[in-house]
Chains A and B, each alone.
Chain A
């Protein structure tokens, strides 16, 4: 179970946080199709930050001394960098859709095309290859939490809880979960959240009550960009060994699907992200040896082509959306540029 839960969380959390990114944009009335692009950009920004800082030797001492608390701080810093650059990148979308009143679907698609091209271009310049990696070591040795930090020996047992949720996990996962909860509360329990949601449903009403729709939409999209950028880096950190390749395996689009499946509501999104995470986990690890009796090896025994399992998360997305998208209720005014003059 331990392995299955850990792996599922690793896939589910970036999906969850990026789907919430989508919610913030869409609840404010902007369709953010650019989640994928922003993730790619955020992942690149975070990895580049890690790479450059390592080269500068800033945290070399802490690493040598095994000061894991400092290293976690380093990781949080990288997450912040990814978030800030994701937010900046998303301003392109806000500007196009709020100020220029452009078609948001096209704007988002443009960003999705721009991001991988731009990122690959930079990677080629910086690293002279197609992948930007950490300057030294790997993400596990630098950033993973291990039981040894808490004085446990190599052969000591931490118990089920400890070995599942503490040993060999990333702090980033939990930061994302906490952020998810905090932002969901922000969306539903605060003045800001109420006003943001009103802009996605009926901007004319919001405007007539003195709420600045443009500002709210900028706020929603910027939060969305920050979360997606951070989600991209977390994805790279936890599943791609902290490397940036100009690709996040369609996670941005999966997150959109999760958002729609979750009906734009945080709780449902958390649930559906876990389901998708589970399938993604199966896809990634079905062929691994049976690490601790998860039963995944049974899937291998079935003798179905491995390609099928890799397709599974995407296939499920297709099927689930085909059946649920009709019932789901998107924010009413999303995708419609708000024009003060029109009534």
Chain B
């Protein structure tokens, strides 16, 4: 029976999609069987999202055809896709913040009488679905008020409400806690058991191995191959994805923590949107020669904590001591004297996008005598310095030092920032999500750099949302939940599950570090 049903429900044959200057999909073939979970694996920019957008009708391919149940279909827009039973959970949720959950679910597929919305029927149907699959949502809450996990459940319910049988999940786990990821995996398996077919886009190998039946690998817009998960392993998948052997584990010696570099005592940072403090009564110490990691789900005060430390935001209470100096009220410029900062938002705080690469490289240093004379910038020196950094850190760009930062790829922008910040040789490096949005190769590189700086005796304060990164890179983990530090863990003795419990606020330690 199972074999009988194993025909292809969707076939994407020889799909080619070009954008100006780049072939995003080059002759890609993907065959999805009924009732299977099919993973689509590839680095950033490999063309996964483009391929799915083609299937969902957001883009028109230049060549190739799509078949459903063997018949050629034309998908010109999302309406066509919905009519064919294709639904998609986008990486960046497509929800209207100020609408209620119910309004978001019915939007575009409303039941009406004379044009008036009939919400009662819709509510019954959604409630039944939510009951059946255990997807708990509060139908009357506004989307802006609910958690990211619930927002994702809303997106899933949107597909179910439209009776879709082919479900596309675009990097669904990036924003979830480990527990939520487990729930999602279980839900996906439940769907597959019912005969729904699932396309699962990811670059996380653990998840793919755990949930998918088959994997199709893309690299730089090209089709590399399709394999059964039971016939492969993580290492070979990652080699297929990157095209060379990749070191998945960060190699590092045990840390040798030295003296305290950064001391934070009872720090409070006010929130911009709420009355409550975004960071409340946080105290910790970062030592030379260790990587201290702040873990937590996005939006639990990590960003504000860094703003408070770097001076981007004023602290309302508490004391920050850096290398023995009280910097609680110091200016950003003054703090920069002993601190490197790899900011969370590289476009907003990291680079002046319309400046050239070399100008960006000396953003904090142009005042130094080396780069200026009587207030005039020494262009030659700047150029030479930029060239050294570009060489040393392998920053790739179109025109070298005079490339406009905006035109560079995200990974190389990030490398430029890292080069600039690390080369300043300050005792403290604050790195906020330094690998966000980067591919495996670049991540591997950045991790090595951070470990090297640690070994040179610098204190590294790492803020990360990626659990794998937290576990493999850090020497000590602080977990933030709702603006407070709720736990201090040792990555060598803790588990991802335990970390997840702290991150979700289900578990916390007392102030003195004792379990409670």
The segment from B74-82, B179-187, B377-385, B487-495 that touches chain A is B74-82
Q: How far is the CA of A323 from the CA of B104 in the complex (A)?
A: 32
- Known contacts: A207-B78, A209-B108, A209-B109. The answer to whether A194 contacts B103 by CB under 8 A is yes
Residues of B within 8 A of A205 (CB): 94-96, 104, 107
A198 within 8 A of B: yes
Question: Please, how many angstroms separate the alpha-carbon atoms of A201 and B144 in the complex?
Answer: 12
B78→A191 contact, CB < 8 A: no
A343: B residues at CB distance < 8 A? 92
Nearest CB in chain B to that of A209: its residue:
B108
- Point out the residue from B90, B108, B116, B158 that lies within 8 Å of A189, measured CB to CB: B116
Given the known inter-chain contacts A201-B96, A201-B97, A202-B97, please indicate yes or no for A190 contacting B90, CB distance below 8 A.
no
Checking A192, A195, A202, A329 against B94 with a beta-carbon cut-off of 8 angstroms, the contacting residue is A202
Contact with B along A320-334 (1 / 0, CB 8 A): 000000000100100
Q: Across the interface, do B98 and A206 meet the contact criterion of CB distance under 8 Å? A: no
Task: Report the Cα distance A210→B158, complex, angstroms.
Answer: 13
- Is the C-beta of B117 less than 8 angstroms from some C-beta in chain A? yes
| Of A198, A206, A211, most B-chain CB atoms within 10 Å | A198
Asked if A305 CB lies within 8 Å of chain B CBs, one says: no
- In this assembly, does A208 line the interface, its C-beta being within 8 Å of a C-beta of chain B? yes
B65-83 Cβ-contact flags toward A at 8 Å (1 or 0): 0000000000001110010
B324 at the interface (CB under 8 A from A): no
Is the Cβ of A189 less than 8 Å from the Cβ of B96?
no
Is the beta-carbon distance between A210 and B82 smaller than 8 angstroms?
A: yes
B88 contacts chain A at the CB level, 8 A cutoff: yes
Q: Decide: A209 and B116 in contact? CB cutoff 8 A.
A: no
Q: How far is B97's CA from A209's CA once the two chains are assembled, in angstroms?
A: 15
CB-nearest residue of chain B to A329: B98
Q: Is the CB of B108 within 8 A of A195?
A: yes
Interface hits, A260-275 → B, CB 8 Å:
none
The one of B92, B94, B110, B158 in contact with A194, judged by C-beta atoms closer than 8 angstroms, is B110
Given A190-B115, A190-B117, A210-B77, CB of A204 within 8 Å of CB of B110: no
What residues of chain A lie closer than 8 Å to B110, measured between beta carbons? 191, 194
- Verify if B99 is at the interface (C-beta below 8 Å from A): yes
When the two chains form their complex, are residues B108 and A210 in contact, meaning their CB atoms are under 8 A apart?
Answer: yes
B206 at the interface (CB under 8 A from A): no
Contact A194 B82 (CB under 8 A): no
- State whether the Cβ of B135 lies closer than 8 Å to any Cβ in chain A: no
Within 8 Å by CB of A202, from B79, B96, B108, lies B96
Q: Restricting to B31-83, which residues have a CB under 8 Å from any CB of A?
A: 56, 58, 77-79, 82
Contact B94 A201 (CB under 8 A): no
Complex interface: chain A residues within 8 A of B106 (CB): 194
What interface size band does chain A fall in? Answer: 20 to 34
For the complex, is B112 an interface residue (Cβ under 8 Å from A)?
yes
Contact status B77-A198, CB under 8 Å: no
Minimum CB–CB distance for A268 against chain B, Å: 15
B95 engages A202 (CB within 8 Å): yes
Once bound together, how far apart are the Cα atoms of A130 and B63, in whole Å? Answer: 63
How far does the alpha carbon of A269 sit from the alpha carbon of B508 in the complex, in Å? Answer: 47
Verify B95–A211 contact, CB threshold 8 A: no
Known contacts A208-B78, A210-B78; is-contact A194 B107 (Cβ 8 Å): yes
Bound-complex Cα distance A201 to B96 (A): 6
Cβ A208 vs Cβ B97 within 8 A = no
Residues of A within 8 A of B104 (CB): 205
Given A194-B107, A202-B94, A202-B95, the answer on whether A209 and B78 have CB atoms closer than 8 Å is yes
From residue A221, how far is it (CB to closest CB) to chain B in Å? 20
Q: Roughly how many angstroms separate A343 CA and B88 CA in the complex, as a whole number?
A: 15
B116 to chain A, nearest CB (A): 5
Contacts of B96 in A (CB 8 A): 197-198, 201-202, 205-206
**Contact present for B98 and A201 (CB under 8 Å):** yes
Are A208 and B88 CB-contacts (below 8 A) given A191-B110, A202-B95, A202-B96? yes
CA distance A301 to B98 in the complex (A): 49
Residues of B within 8 A of A209 (CB): 78, 82, 94, 107-109, 158
From B77, B90, B107, B158, contact of A206 by CB (8 A): B107
Chain B minimum-CB-distance residue to A192: B115
Residues of A within 8 A of B88 (CB): 208
Residues on B with beta carbons closer than 8 Å to the beta carbon of A191 = 110, 112, 115-117
Residues of chain A having any CB pair with chain B under 8 Å = 189-192, 194-195, 197-198, 201-202, 204-211, 329, 332, 340, 343
User: Can you give 19 contacting A-B residue pairs, CB < 8 Å?
Assistant: A189-B117, A190-B116, A190-B117, A191-B110, A191-B112, A191-B116, A194-B107, A194-B117, A195-B108, A197-B96, A198-B96, A202-B94, A205-B95, A205-B96, A206-B107, A207-B78, A208-B90, A211-B108, A340-B58
Which are the 6 A-B pairs with shortest beta-carbon distances?
A209-B108, A210-B79, A205-B94, A208-B94, A201-B96, A191-B110
